[in-house]
Amino acid sequence: MEELRVTGGGHLGPIDSSRIPRYAGAATFARLPRLDQVDRADIAVVGVPFDSGVSYRPGARFGGNHVREASRLLRPYNPALDVSPFERVQVADAGDMAVNPFNIHEAIETVQQEALDLTAGGTRLVTLGGDHTIALPLLRAAAERAGSPVAMLHFDAHLDTWDTYFGAEYTHGTPFRRAVEEGILDTEAISHVGTRGPLYGVRDLEDDRRFGFGIVTSADVYRQGVDEVVDKLRTRIGNRPLYVSVDIDVLDPAHAPGTGTPEAGGITSRELLEILRGLRGLNLVGADVVEVAPAYDHAEMTGVAASHVAYDLVTLMADTLTPAATTSGDQ
């Protein structure tokens, strides 16, 4: 079947849904071209089908393709930010990294190296997980490309700064403790957003403060409102290179049931999207959306939410990149 695509700004865009139904054909993110169909990509969306670091429900290894399927309804123009990201820059789907599901150390090394390979020409990554273990190697690659520790916003129900699980240092609950220890995070500009639920003890919070994390709980978002939260986050980040990591369980299970460790009392998908949009103009150098577990999803609720989060992250990146010279094309 011929791929009839929308083009604009000299870039190859998504399949034209006015000529080929959205439900037809193979699913790439937002029906964008594959990386091998373009000369280069300014932004690449890549999957990491890995969940060997989970501590409760498995299944996030299937999250990337679930998000791709749920992204079929995404359209080329983002009215919330008044940006046509696929026209402004070249965005492509880089497929999936092939990581070892039986050796977590090898998997982490693979993700780090493939992230470095994909970003070698200046391409920025939005990664679809997979469990949150993969944030550590992605942060390593982002800091290496930035040439300095990076600021980070971590959207999650959980802190993910625990020391070990069953003696294991590398799990989906430990990546940000390791990242602080390795010196790849700018500890004056790191925050959790949306945390909630029971902890193992008060020491969890004491450790976080010692590491330098600010904490905006889901209750803070509810009581203070999106605008106040965004102002605080922007002040903390400044103009530093920023990495955004989104665990989909930051959303209440009513909005995202398809995840491995759900917690009651989360933020809404609208609140999450509005906070992300409030980051407009910041130097977003990388991002991930993780912990989508489709076996627990219903009617693609979680997949749809995750696909819109990834779409807004792509749009934020595209908005700050210098577009190539525009050429005429179909809109």
Instruction: Categorize the per-residue pLDDT at 1 as very low, low, confident or very high, splitting at 50, 70 and 90.
Output: low
pLDDT (0 to 100) of residue 218: 98
Q: Tell whether the model's pLDDT for residue 2 goes beyond 80.
A: no
- Nearest Cα neighbor of 1 from 30, 14, 19, 13 is 19
User: How many Å apart are CA 134 and CA 139, to the nearest integer?
Assistant: 9
The mean pLDDT of 148-177, rounded to a whole number, is: 97
Whether pLDDT at 67 is above 80: yes
**pLDDT above 60 for 163:** yes
pLDDT at 324 exceeding the cut of 80: no
Q: How confident is the model at residue 18 (pLDDT cuts 50, 70, 90)?
A: confident
What is the pTM (predicted TM-score) of this model? 0.95
Q: Does the structure show a pLDDT above 50 at 132?
A: yes
pLDDT at 25: 87
pLDDT cut 70: percent of the chain above it: 97
Please check the confidence at residue 42 and state whether its pLDDT lies above 60.
Answer: yes
pLDDT surpasses 70 at 161: yes
Question: % helix / strand / coil in the chain, to the nearest 5?
Answer: 35, 20, 40
What is the mean predicted confidence (pLDDT) over 204-233?
97
In the block, residue with structure tokens 């982002």 = 142
pLDDT of 326 higher than 80: no
How many other CB atoms are there within 10 angstroms of residue 2's CB atom?
Answer: 6
Looking at residue 20, what is its pLDDT? Answer: 87
Is the pLDDT at 164 greater than 60? The verdict is: yes
Token pair recorded at residue 140: 């390593």
Strand pairing report for 185-195 and 5-8: unpaired
Between CA 141 and CA 149, with CA 144 as vertex, the angle to 5 degrees is 105
Proportion of the chain above pLDDT 90, given as a percent: 91
Cis amide leading into 130 (omega within 30): yes
Cα 283 to the center of its chain, rounded Å: 15
Averaged over 96-117, what is the pLDDT?
98
Burial class of residue 264 (count of CB atoms within 10 Å of its CB; 0-12, 13-18, 19+) = exposed
- 3-state SS, residue 323: coil
Is it the case that residue 87 has pLDDT exceeding 90? yes
Report the alpha-carbon angle 179-185-190, nearest 5.
Answer: 110
Which pLDDT value is given to residue 254?
Answer: 97
Q: What is the mean pLDDT of the chain?
A: 95
Name the residue with higher pLDDT: 5 or 179.
Answer: 179
pLDDT at 328 over 50: no
Ramachandran quadrant class, 149 (left: phi over 0; alpha: psi -120 to 50; beta: rest)? beta
- 327 pLDDT more than 50: no
Position 4 scores a pLDDT of 87
Question: What is the pLDDT, as a whole number, of residue 329?
Answer: 38
Burial degree of 288 (CB within 10 A; 0-12, 13-18, 19+): buried
SS3 of residue 211 by DSSP: helix
Residue 126: pLDDT over 70 = yes
